[in-house]
Amino acid sequence: MNLPGVPAAGAVVRLRDRELGLDRPVVMAVVNRTPDSFYAPARYDEAGADAAVARAEEEGADIVDLGGVRAGRGPRVEPDEEIARVVPLIERVRRRHPDLLVSVDTWRSSVARAAALAGADLVNDTWAGHDPELVAVAAEHGLGVVCSHTGGARPRTDPFRVTYPSSPAERAPREHPDDERPDDEQDPLDGVVDDVVATLAAAARRAVDLGIDPASVLVDPTHDFGKNTWHSLHLVRRTPALVALGYPVLMAFSRKDFVGESLGLPPEERLEGTLAATAVAAWLGARVFRAHDVAATRRTLDMVATIRAERLPERVVRGLA
C-alpha cells in the first residue's frame, strides 16, 4: 500500500526461494565467533555462539550473520582459522535452526566457498569486493551477496581524513547566476552519496551478470567503513537514493562509531541511538537491518512497518470496546 507522504518501500529479499521483507523489514542478527569484537557482549566462544543463535531466533531474527574476524584492527586471522571458527557454527545452525537463513561475514572467497558447502545462504562481503573471486563463488553456489562500499579502504583498516568529491550537482554551472537549487542538491556531503551509489550499482550489476538473482543482491552503504561520522549521518538521510537502485538495502548501524560520536557514548550505551537511525532508515525504505540487539530492533521495525501501513497492529481495542 502506497500512502500519501509515505516514502516508497525498498525491494524485498529472496534467498533460497524464500521471500523476506514483504510486510516488514528483515532483521539480521550479528553473531561473531571472535574474541575481540568492538562490542564486548558480542564476543562469543563456541558455546556462547550457539546460545546467541538460539536467542536471536526466539527474538525474531530472520537471518543470522556469522563472522569469524573482527572488522577493525586486531591480530591477524588466517583463512584456515576463520573457516575453523565459522564453518562448524554454520553446520550446527543448519541442523538446529532450519528456518533461519545463514549469512557469513567474510571478504575471502576461500571462506565463502567453505561456508557455501556448509549450508550458508548469503555472503556478507563488508570489504567491497577486495577479493574479486568472492562474488563468483556466491554465484556458483546459488548464494546471495551483500555489495558494500568502503571508499577503497583495505580490509581491517580504519578511515583517516577521508574525503569525497563534491556532488556533480553542486559542481555544474548554473544557467543564470540568480538560479537557486533545492537544498538537497547543494549539500557538499552528497559527494559521498554519489560515490556510494555508483560503487554499489556497479557491484550489484556484476553480481547479477554472474547469475545472482537481483532480489538476492543486497546493497549496503557500509557506515563507518571508509567514512567519517558526517558521511555516515548523511547516508542515513539519503537512504532514498540507495532504495532507488532497486535492490534490497541493508543497513548495519548497530552500535557503530557514528552513533557513539553523535551522542558521545561508548558501544555499551549506543542502543537508543542505533534504534533512532534504524527507525529513520526503515521509514525511508531500507529493508534489512544488521543488529546486535534483536528484540529491540524487531520491535522498532515492526512499529515503523505498522505506521507505514505495511503490517496490522497486533490488536485494536482502544476506543472500540
What is residue 128's DSSP assignment?
T
Lookup result for grid cell 540507495: 242
- CA distance linking residue 74 with residue 84, whole number of Å: 18
Give the model's pLDDT for residue 72.
Answer: 83
- pLDDT class for 167, splitting at 50, 70, 90? low
- pLDDT class for 3, splitting at 50, 70, 90? confident
pLDDT of residue 236 exceeding 80, the answer is: yes
Q: Locate all alpha helices (DSSP H) within the chain, ordered by sequence.
A: 46-58, 79-96, 109-118, 134-140, 168-171, 190-209, 229-237, 239-243, 257-263, 271-283, 294-307
Give the model's pLDDT for residue 179.
Answer: 45
Give the model's pLDDT for residue 176.
Answer: 46
- CA distance linking residue 83 with residue 63, whole number of Å: 19
Q: Can you tell me the mean pLDDT for 38-49?
A: 84
Give the model's pLDDT for residue 184.
Answer: 46
Domain boundaries, the chain: 13-168+184-307
Give the model's pLDDT for residue 34.
Answer: 87
pLDDT of residue 136 exceeding 90, the answer is: yes
User: Who has greater pLDDT, 185 or 45?
Assistant: 45
* Cα angle 92-93-99, degrees, rounded to a multiple of 5: 145
Q: Which of 20-24, 155-159, 191-195, 284-288 has the lowest mean pLDDT?
A: 155-159
What Cα–Cα distance (Å) separates residue 168 from each residue in 113, 194, 303?
A: 40, 8, 37
- pLDDT class for 273, splitting at 50, 70, 90? very high
Give the model's pLDDT for residue 97.
Answer: 97
Q: Locate all alpha helices (DSSP H) within 97-166, ordered by sequence.
A: 109-118, 134-140
Q: Which of 41-45, 88-92, 235-239 has the lowest mean pLDDT?
A: 41-45
Q: Can you tell me the mean pLDDT for 205-220?
A: 98
Give the model's pLDDT for residue 186.
Answer: 59
Give the model's pLDDT for residue 181.
Answer: 46
Q: Can you tell me the mean pLDDT for 76-87?
A: 96
Give the model's pLDDT for residue 173.
Answer: 43
Angle between helices 294-307 and 271-283 (to 10 degrees): 30
- Residues of the chain with pLDDT > 90: what percent? 81
- Range among 37-51, 66-80, 122-136 with highest mean pLDDT value: 122-136
Q: Can you tell me the mean pLDDT for 118-147?
A: 97
Give the model's pLDDT for residue 120.
Answer: 98
CATH 3.40.640.10 fits 13-168+184-307, yes or no: no
Which residues, other chains included, contact 237 with Cβ-Cβ below 8 Å and sequence gap of 6+?
Answer: 280
User: Who has greater pLDDT, 156 or 138?
Assistant: 138
How many CB atoms neighbour CB 55 within 10 A?
14
- Check if the beta carbon of residue 239 is closer than 8 Å to that of residue 196: no
Mean pLDDT rounded to a whole number for the chain: 92
